[in-house]
């Protein structure tokens, strides 16, 4: 872990595109819609706690619909991200991908008092974490700050959505709170 650089180089093992469930923020979804023109329902799915066990049950982005809870995720047909280009094994929306994808496999490190300390590599993932390159910390930190802002907005939207009670409420209804669909 470094203050200026993290030793890492992606070797395109595809772990992040096949083994990681990406939970985009509404801001990520808006960016993807603007870049691709696609309807969000063509690239999103809503997973239950059975589909993703690694997210804390108290996470503030769980959507409540009746007796079930959901998280908004990028759709993973055949356990591969919907945007993974099968031909060239690369991200089809690389420039517009969610911030979570941009930050992965990096993990922000904080002191006990909450002060940012630097970045390292997630230790609990299957990514080979090749260390034959250097990634600058400053752009990662800027992404982390942007993501924190988006997370606050996301949590606010989820609170409003979860307060709404009506018959037939579906997690897909959440999209209408931030994207105008045709």
Q: How does pLDDT run across 82-140, given as a tens digit for each residue?
A: 999 888 889 999 999 999 999 989 999 999 999 988 898 887 777 887 888 899 999 99
Domain presence at residue 173: no
Domain presence at residue 171: no
Look at the chain and report how many structural domains it folds into: 1
Domain presence at residue 136: yes
* Encoded tokens for 95: 């420039």
pLDDT category, 141, cuts 50, 70, 90? Answer: very high
Q: How many Å apart are CA 153 and CA 134, to the nearest integer?
A: 32
Alpha-carbon distances, residue 66 vs 11, 33, 123, 173 (angstroms): 43, 28, 36, 13
Domain presence at residue 182: no
Q: Report the pLDDT value the prediction gives residue 170, as an integer from 0 to 100.
A: 97
pLDDT category, 2, cuts 50, 70, 90? Answer: low
Domain presence at residue 59: yes
Domain presence at residue 131: yes
How many helices and strands, by DSSP H and E, does the chain display? Answer: 4, 9
Domain presence at residue 176: no
Residues 29-32: contacts with CB under 8 Å, at least 24 apart: 29/72, 29/175, 29/178, 29/179, 30/178, 30/179, 31/96, 32/93, 32/96, 32/97, 32/98
Range of the domain at 31: 5-164
Q: How many Å apart are CA 157 and CA 77, to the nearest integer?
A: 27
pLDDT beyond 70 at 22: yes
Q: Taking residues 4-26, what's their average pLDDT?
A: 89
Q: Check residue 117 and report its DSSP letter.
A: E
Domain presence at residue 57: yes
At 154-182, the pLDDT tens digits run 999 999 999 999 999 999 999 999 998 76
Q: Report the pLDDT value the prediction gives residue 1, as an integer from 0 to 100.
A: 46
pLDDT beyond 80 at 5: yes
pLDDT, greater one: 129 or 35: 35
Stated pTM of the model: 0.91
């Amino acid at each position: 872990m470094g203050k200026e650089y993290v030793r890492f180089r992606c070797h395109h093992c595809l772990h992040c595109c096949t083994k990681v469930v990406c939970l985009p923020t509404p801001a990520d979804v808006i960016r993807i819609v603007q870049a691709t023109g696609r309807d969000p329902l063509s690239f999103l799915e809503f997973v239950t706690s059975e589909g993703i066990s690694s997210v804390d049950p108290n996470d503030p982005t769980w959507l409540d619909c009746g007796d079930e809870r959901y998280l908004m995720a990028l759709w993973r047909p055949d356990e591969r991200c919907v945007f993974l280009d099968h031909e060239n094994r690369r991200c089809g929306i690389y420039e517009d991908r969610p911030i979570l994808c941009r930050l992965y496999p990096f993990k922000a490190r904080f002191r006990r008092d909450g002060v940012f300390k630097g970045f390292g590599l997630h230790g609990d993932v299957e990514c080979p974490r090749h260390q034959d390159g250097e990634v600058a910390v400053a752009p990662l930190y800027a992404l982390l700050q942007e993501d924190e802002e988006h997370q606050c907005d996301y949590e606010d939207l989820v609170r409003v959505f979860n307060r709404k009670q009506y018959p037939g409420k579906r997690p897909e209804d959440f999209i209408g709170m931030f994207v105008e669909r045709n």
